[in-house]
Structure 1
Amino acid sequence: MAMPQIHDTILDAIGNTPLVRLNRVNRGVRAQVLAKVEYMNPGGSVKDRIGIAMIEDAERSGRLKPGGTIVEPTSGNTGAGLAIAAAIRGYKTIFVMPDKMSDEKIRYLRALGAKVVITPTAVEPDDPRSYYSVSKRLAEETPNAILAGQYWNQANPDAHYRSTGPEIWRQTAGKIDAFIAGMGTGGTISGTAKFLKEQNPNIQVVGIDPVGSLYTEYFRTGQLGPAFGYKVEGVGEDFLPTTMHFQYVDDVVQVGDKESFVMTRRMVREEGLFVGGSCGMAVAGAMRWLRAQNWDESKTAVILLPDSGVRYISKIFSDDWMRENGFLESEPISQLLDIRPRAVISAKATHTVAQVIQDMKANDISQMPVVRDDGTLVGLITEVDLLDYLLSGAGQMDHQISDIVSSAVATVGPDTSIDALTEVFSRGQVGVVVDESEVVRGIITKIDMIDYLANKA
C-alpha cells in the first residue's frame, strides 16, 4: 500500500527543483545545457532556500525571539522567502525595496502580510536613504527586531552548500563540467560552487554580472570600481557583500539589460520556461561563455534560473515598457528574408573562375556563398577575391575557385536579431544565413538592410 506523501508545512516543499534540458536558445552550443528551475519553489524563487535558513539560524543564536520582527533590504525574492517562513513561525516582517523593483513584487510581499518601505535606487550604499541604511535604521528602531542579513549572514551560502549543490550533483549523477549563475548577494553561486568543487575541483564556475555592477571589475582587478544603474533586478551590487566568495568563481561574464531581457522573453517562447530577467541574464551570459569554450557533446553545463516571470509582467513582458526603455527586441533575420524572397545563388569549390564571374554578372551580385553538394557552407567568394586573383599575374579563367574561397564568413541564424547584423556590417562583411544544419538559406548585404529599414519607415 502506498504511503501518504504529505508535507507538514509548505516549507517542506522547498528544494528538489527540476533540472531541465535546454533545446533551442542554445543553438550553436554542442555541450549539453541544463537549467535548474528555481521558480518551482513555493515562493517562486531560489531565495526560498535562504529565507527559512536565516530564520532558523537567528532562532538558534537567540537573536530572534518569539513574536519578533524580521527586517531586510530586498529586491523582492528574499523578502518572499522570509515572509512565507515568518508567517508559519509567527513573526512579523518589514522589507525595504529600491524603487526600481516591479509592482508585482511589492504587492506580493504585502499580500504575504509584510510592511514594504520603498527607497530611491540611485544613491550610494552608505547614503541614509539607501535601502541598506533604511533597513538598518528600522531594525534598530523597531522593538524586538533583527536584520536577517542576506548580504553578510553565512546562513545564506550555507543553505546552498547544504541543498542546491547536493541536488545538482545528484541530479547530474556527478556528470557536470560547469555551473553558471548570476551573482547578487553571492550566496547562491558561492555555496553551490563550494559543494560542487569539493566533489570535483575541475568543475568550472562562471558568474554572470549585469553591466553596471562592480563585481566584474573586482574579479578582474581586485579593485572596487564605480557602479552605475541598470534595470535587471536582484543581481549585481554596488558594494562587496561578505556572502560573495570569489575563491570559488573561475570566470565572470558581464551582460547588459537589453541582452538579458531579450533572452528572458525567448526563454518562455522557445523553451516554455516563464522566467525573470536575471534568468535571461544568466542564460545569455552562459551561451556566450559556452560558445567561447567550444565544448563537445560530452560536456554538461548547469545554469541556475532564480525566479519566475510572473513578477515582471508589467515590465519585461510588457511591449510598452520594453519599447519605452529601448529594449524591445528587433525582428528576426528570417523576417527580412521573407520580405525579400530570392533564390540563393551559390557556387561549388570545383567551379571555375570563369563560371563564377559569369554567374555574378548574370545575377548582378558581388559575392556568392560556396557550398557542398548538400548545401552546407564552405565559405564565400567575392568580386574582390576574384580581382585580387586575376591581378596576381597567375590568374587563369579555367582555374577552380577552391583555393580562392574565403573561410572568414560571418554566419547568422534565421532567428538571430536583425540588430546583430550591425556588428557584421561594421567589419565590412555580409551576413550568410545558415540553419541548424549549416545549410545556406540566404545572404544579407548592407543594401538589403537599408532597403528593409527604408520600407519600414
Structure 2
Amino acid sequence: MIGSSARSQIEDLIESMHRMSIGNTPFVQVEEGIFAKIEWKNRFGSIKDRPAFYMIYSLREAGDLDNRIIIEASSGNTGLAISGIARMLGLKSVIVLPENASSATKQLILSNGSELIETPAKTGTEGSIKVVNEMVSAGNYVWLNQHSNTKNSDAHYYTTAREMAEAEGKPAAIIAGIGTGGTITGIARYFKEMDPGIRIIGVQPSPGSHIHGLRNAFSSKYRGIIDRYGDLIDEIVYVNEDQAKAEIKRYYERTGDLIGISSGANLFAARTMKERYGKIFTVFPDSGEKYRDELDFLKQ
C-alpha cells in the first residue's frame, strides 16, 4: 500500500505523461482471445516512452537533473524516447547504443539533438552499458540505468497494466518480451496482486537470434529489475527471428499494419499459447517502420 501523498504524486506524474501524449494507447483484440496494447501510438513511437518519461520526471522533480546530462545505454527505443523527452524538457542527453540499431532510430535520436555514441554490434547492449559506466565515472552525467531502475517497472505497474485492466478486465495469461524486464515485471506485479493464478510468460530470443529490444536478461550481469521481480515470471518462450518476421508478414497481410519485430515475437508466442489459456494480454512495443530494411517480404 502507498500513502495518499505518494499516490497523489503518482497521479500527477501520470497526468503529466498524458499531457505529453504518452500512455492511454489502444488495447485491441488482434485475434480471438488475444488482446494487444498498441504502443507505437505513444508520442515517440514505442512502449519505452512510458519508463523514459517516468524516470526523467522523477529525477527532475527531485532536483537531480540540475545542470547535468542524462545518459543511457539502449538497443534503440529507450534511447529514442529519452532523446525526445529530453528535448521537450530542455535537457541534454547522450545515448549509447549498438551500431546495428536501426538507422531510422539513430537518425531520429540525432535529430532530437542528442549526442549519439555507437558501440560494436558484437558486444550488444552489454557493451553499451559498459561504455556508459565508464563515462559516468568521469563526467557530469545522470545515468537512468533502465536495467536496474525500479521506476522502469513502476511505469508499467501504474500505467500499462492499469489501462489493460480497465479496458478488458483480467486475462488467463500475460505474454511480454523481456529486455530490461521493466514491461513484463510491472504488468506482472499489477495482475498478480489481482489474481496470483494469472500466468506470466516471458519471450526471449532463441540462442543465436537477434530480436530488437529482447535479450536473455537472466544471463546478463545487468539485470537489476529481473533480480528483484523475476520470480513473478512463470515461464519463458523462445522465439527466433524467422518466426517473429513470419508473424509480422501474416499480420501485415491481414490488417495492413506493420508491427515491429518484438511485437511479432510476442504475437507468435501468444498464438502458440492461445488454446491453453483462452484469454491472453500482450503488448506490441513498436511498429515495423524502423525495421523496413530487415523485412524481406516488403521488398518482393
TM-score of the alignment, normalized to the shorter chain, above 0.5: yes
Residue 18 of structure 1 corresponds to 26
Q: For 1:301 and 1:131, how far apart are their aligned partners in 2?
A: 34
Task: State the Cα RMSD in Å.
Answer: 2.2
Q: Does 1:257 align with 2:241?
A: yes
Question: Does the CA-based 8 Å contact 2:49-2:82 persist in structure 1?
Answer: yes
Task: Report the counterpart of residue 55 of structure 1 in structure 2.
Answer: 56
- Between 1:263-272 and 1:178-187, the stretch displaced more is 263-272
Q: Report the Cα distance in structure 2 between the residues aligned to 1:307 and 1:194, rounded to whole angstroms.
A: 22
**Larger radius of gyration, structure 1 or 2?**
1
One of 266, 270, 284 as aligned partner of 1:282: 266
- Find the aligned partners of 1:104 and 1:180 in 2 and give their Cα distance: 27
Partner in structure 1 of residue 190 of structure 2: 195
Distance 1:201 1:300 in 2: 16
Matches within 5 A, 1:295-444: 295=277, 299-316=278-295
Residue 9 of structure 1 deviates from its aligned partner by: 8.5
Unaligned runs of 5+ in 1: 1-6, 24-30, 213-228, 321-327, 329-457
Matched, 1:242 2:237: no
- Is structure 2 residue 132 aligned with structure 1 residue 132? no
C-alpha spacing 1:318/1:133, structure 2 compared with 1 (3 Å):
farther
Q: Aligned partners of 1:48 and 1:125: how far apart in 2?
A: 18
For 2:286 and 2:124, the matched residues in 1 are separated by: 26
CA-CA distance at 1:285 after TM superposition:
1.3
Paired residues for 1:45-124 under 5 Å: 45-65=46-66, 67-123=67-123
Deviation sequence 1:132-167 (CA, Å, 0-9, x none): 111222233333x11111011111001111101110
Aligned pair 1:167/2:186, yes or no? no
**Structure 2 residue 45 is matched with structure 1 residue 44:** yes
Q: Deviation digits for residues 267-286 of structure 1, max 9, x if unmatched? A: 22213332110000111112
Question: Aligned equivalents of 1:319 and 1:13: distance in 2?
Answer: 30
> In 2, Cα distance between the equivalents of 1:156 and 1:10?
17
- Spell out, residue by residue over 1:278-315, the C-alpha distance to the aligned partner (whole angstroms, 9 max, x if none): 00011111211224x1x5xxx42111110111111122
Q: Displacement, 1:10?
A: 7.5
Give the alignment's TM-score, normalised by structure 1.
0.58
1:266 deviates by: 1.9
Aligned residue identity for 2:294: K
Q: What is the TM-score of this pair, normalised by structure 2? A: 0.87
Contact 2:97–2:125, Cα closer than 8 Å, also in 1? no
- Tell me if structure 1 keeps the 8 A contact 2:98–2:125: no
Other-structure match for 1:150? 146
Structure 1 residues 232-288: Cα deviation after superposition (integer angstroms, max 9, x where no partner): 111113505111222211211101111111112222221333211000011111211
Identity %: 29
Measure the CA separation in 2 of the matches of 1:264 and 1:318. 10
Structure showing greater relative contact order (alpha-carbon pairs closer than 8 Å, 6 or more residues apart): 2
Tell me, yes or no, if the aligned pair for 2:17 and 2:53 is still in contact at 8 Å.
no
Closer, same or farther: CA 9–250 of 1 in aligned 2, 3 Å: closer
